[in-house]
Amino acid sequence: MVGKKKKIEVIGGGGEDGDVIKTLMASINKKVKGSACILSAGEKLRVKDYVSTGCTVLDCIIGNTEKSGFPIGKISMISGEPSSGKSLLCYSLIAEIQKQGGIAALIDTERSIDLDFLVRQDVQTDKLLYSQPETMEEALETIEAIIDNVTASGNKGKTLICFDSLAATPTTEELETGGFDPKKTIASKARCLSSGLPKINEKIDQSSVALVMTNQLRMKLNTSMFEDPFTTMGGGSPKFYSTIMVRLYKGKLIKDAQGLGIGILARAKIEKSRISPPFRQCTYEMSFAKGMENWKTAYRFLLDCEVISKHHGWRSIVGHKGEEKRFQESDWDDMESDGEFKGFIYSLIENKLIIRYKE
């Protein structure tokens, strides 16, 4: 038997639109406490804060604002092929939030951490919360516990959780089943994440915590020549609940005079963004010895934009005082010591990359 449809009435209707909205809001909040509100012209939903990547160019295309990066109170995901710099970018995020006096936590399920390498990336290991959960369920419980404790403590400082990585984390079902037959545990990771991430997403939105997950790429079967042949592990939930999705591509290896690899020139593409224009790309330089090379990346970017001019072996740029600075490429590192010029260079990058909308 088909039930009768309930008639929906607007209580106190007939007035101005604003009065109707307020009446509706009061009626909704009476049934579902605190679920409805009115956003005034000056009250916009904004990102609370950002965690810098240590690279001004990358920060600008992620957040599209000054001093941005990965958003606080949101879930973000970094994906890419092996050796594309996913973990390196996480270490740079940890180093930057520690410089700002924030809390950093690293959930490592790849079990490939080297203490000396972390120190070379400017990570303060004595102030780093480090966890090695065995399963995806334990990893999600660890993330939830960190968010709950940070929220309960009333700490208003920024907290960063780096989860490295989704692809390397087995589920309890996979460990307990035994054997190596994938048919017995098909989609177990996707099912685990689809039930765990909604809960974490709800809690992290009310906190001062940023969650950045890394993921690896896998080849899809039976794709056409027009499709992206790669996909990420863990099903669709990590994509659905990520505010920012950054995909890293293998860049060329940077070598020293002896031909030894000392860093990578990586390329990043914003595959998804709910806070800024998506599908933007940039290249940045990372050193195996020092981490993110922000100053060298700035030089490459301004050279590509023709803000820095090339005249045979010389380079030139109009400085912050309107004067022309002429220098050779080898002199660029020394020019970083000039604080005013350094600030001017980073402001040039922000003006070039930030898309400003009319109010």
pLDDT of residue 86: 95
Closest C-alpha among 308, 306, 304, 305 to residue 332: 308
pLDDT at 16: 60
What is the Cα–Cα distance from 215 to 231, expressed in whole angstroms?
10
Condensed to tens digits (0 to 9), the pLDDT of residues 15-43 reads: 566 688 888 888 888 888 767 777 664 44
Q: Average pLDDT for residues 149-158, to the nearest whole number?
A: 91
Q: What is the pLDDT of residues 74-100, one digit of tens each?
A: 999 999 999 899 999 999 999 999 999
Which of the residue ranges 85-94, 129-138, 208-217, 317-326 would you say has the lowest mean pLDDT?
317-326
Residue 14 is predicted with a pLDDT of: 44
Average pLDDT of the residues in 310-338: 92
DSSP three-state, residue 255: strand
Domains of the chain, CATH where assigned: 1-45 (no CATH), 50-292 (3.40.50.300), 301-353 (no CATH)
CB 43 within 8 A of CB 35: no
Q: Is the pLDDT of residue 6 over 50?
A: no
Backbone torsions φ then ψ of 36, nearest 5 degrees: -130, 145
Mean pLDDT (the chain) is 89
Q: Compare 44 and 191 and report the one with higher pLDDT.
A: 191
Among 75, 55, 74, 71, smallest CA distance to 63 is for: 71
Q: Is the pLDDT of residue 178 over 80?
A: no
Unique residue bearing structure tokens 């899809």? 220
Q: Is the dihedral of CA 87, 91, 97, 98 positive or negative?
A: positive
Rounded distance, CA 77 to CA 170, Å? 18
Least confident of 89-103, 171-185, 238-252, 313-327: 171-185
